[in-house]
């Protein structure tokens, strides 16, 4: 029986993935900052609910140790915990900037460092990092969010080669628009009232998202893609999740030069 450790398993994609893997007969180490939010997962005999805050490195080590003590080896790590942040860079304090990067980037790296040694010793394991369409496309006023997701894409691609040498597979999940709390508790929006110079790009971003958000995937759909990535025996790195217009733009970005593509983004902002 295989085991997966999931960060951010209290809601959205993380919760749906925990449920999906449990339904498939896996052991699940469901981690979250507040274990009171675990819901029905806590009652499943193959689940271990553990407190883990990706910005608290001691809690990462403790959660990994608890999971290994309960189930033995961790076969798959899903780095799902993270949140969005939109607004002009100037409007964010350095504390808020550091919080985004500590959660979305440093936390991902710290969790990987905690599981890699045992995977390397076994010459077996899979690490799956949840990125975003926004890990290869950057939208206006998203410097923090896209900066972190571009970082996740870059570090994951580098580790694709590095970890292959020791028998560990690397995977990236790229969801489009998903029905989660991204716009609620999982979101940090800068207050731009004191910076009216940014009213135009801020409003333009809203119009652009309205045009691109043609459909929203259910978290369960993303969980199914994660399941495929965890069990795919090939050397594939990236897995897309969703069918919205933003997903389609990934191909457009590769086909067009910078000037043409960026002009298209400006046009979406103006429509």
Q: What are the start-end ranges of the E strands in the chain?
A: 3-6, 27-32, 47-51, 76-79, 84-86, 125-130, 168-175, 187-189, 238-241
Known catalytic residue: 86?
no
- 10, 131, 132, 143: the active-site residue: 131
Could you tell me the strand order of the sheet in which 168-175 lies? 47-51, 27-32, 3-6, 76-79, 125-130, 168-175, 238-241
Token pair, residue 166, equals 């020791």
Give the whole-angstrom CA distance, residue 112 versus residue 165: 16
Residues 6+ apart with CB under 8 A from 67: 3, 5, 29, 48, 50, 74
Q: Of the residues 10, 83, 132, 149, which is catalytic? A: 149
> Is 131 assigned a catalytic role?
yes
Name residue 31's beta-bridge partners: 50
Catalytic residue among 145, 156, 160, 198: 145
Residue 140 φ then ψ, to 5°: -55, 145
Q: In the annotation, is 149 catalytic?
A: yes
User: Rounded to whole angstroms, what are the CA distances from 8 to 11, 82, 90, 135, 154?
Assistant: 7, 7, 29, 19, 21
Strands 168-175 and 125-130, bridge-based pairing: parallel
Q: Hey, which residues are catalytic here? A: 131, 145, 149
């Amino acid at each position: 029986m295989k085991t997966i450790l999931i960060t951010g398993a209290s809601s959205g994609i993380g919760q749906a993935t925990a449920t999906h893997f449990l339904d498939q007969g896996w052991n699940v180490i469901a981690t979250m900052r507040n274990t009171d939010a675990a819901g029905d997962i806590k009652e499943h005999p193959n689940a271990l609910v553990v407190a883990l805050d990706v910005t608290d490195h001691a809690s990462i080590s403790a959660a990994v140790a608890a999971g290994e003590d309960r189930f033995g080896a961790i076969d798959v790590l899903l780095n799902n915990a993270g949140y969005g942040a939109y607004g002009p860079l100037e409007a964010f304090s350095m504390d808020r900037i550091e919080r985004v990067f500590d959660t979305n980037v440093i936390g991902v790296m710290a969790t990987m460092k905690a599981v890699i040694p045992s995977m390397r010793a076994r010459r077996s394991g899979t690490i799956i990092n949840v990125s975003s369409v926004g890990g290869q496309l950057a939208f206006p006023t998203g410097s923090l969010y896209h900066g972190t997701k571009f970082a996740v894409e870059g570090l994951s691609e580098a580790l694709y080669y590095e970890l292959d040498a020791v028998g560990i597979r690397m995977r990236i999940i790229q969801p489009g628009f998903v029905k989660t709390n991204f716009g609620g508790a999982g979101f940090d929006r800068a207050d731009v009232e004191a910076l009216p110079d940014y009213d135009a790009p801020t409003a333009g971003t809203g119009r652009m998202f309205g045009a691109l958000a043609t459909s929203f995937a259910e978290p369960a759909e993303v969980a199914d893609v994660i399941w495929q990535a965890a069990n795919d025996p090939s050397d594939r790195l990236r897995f897309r999740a969703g069918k919205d217009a933003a997903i389609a733009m990934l191909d457009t970005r590769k086909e067009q030069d910078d000037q043409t593509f960026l002009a298209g983004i400006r046009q979406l902002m103006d429509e």
